[in-house]
Amino acid sequence: MTEKILMAMKFTEAQLEQAIISPLGEQGYPYAVGSSIIRTEEKCLFQKICGISSK
């Protein structure tokens, strides 16, 4: 019985990503593939957290 419960709790990486990305999208947070984001190392990706206004 415990083994069946554990099997149901296992996630693949893709399932885990989707479980996190979907609810964030529903709350208005856009999703972008990391490799598609062009920025310098110094640029903060989380502007609200860093206190940077959008320009």
pTM listed for this prediction: 0.47
Q: What is the number of domains present in the chain?
A: 1
Q: Is residue 23 part of a domain?
A: yes
Give yes or no for a contact between 30 and 24, defined as CB atoms under 8 angstroms apart: no
Write down the pLDDT at residue 39.
Answer: 74
Could you list the residue range(s) of the whole structural domain that residue 40 is in?
Answer: 2-50
The tens digit of pLDDT for each residue in 1-55 reads 455 555 566 778 888 888 889 999 999 988 888 788 777 777 766 666 666 665 5
Q: Is residue 55 part of a domain?
A: no
Give yes or no for a contact between 9 and 15, defined as CB atoms under 8 angstroms apart: no
Report CA dihedral (27, 32, 34, 36) to the nearest 10 degrees: -160
Q: Is residue 29 part of a domain?
A: yes
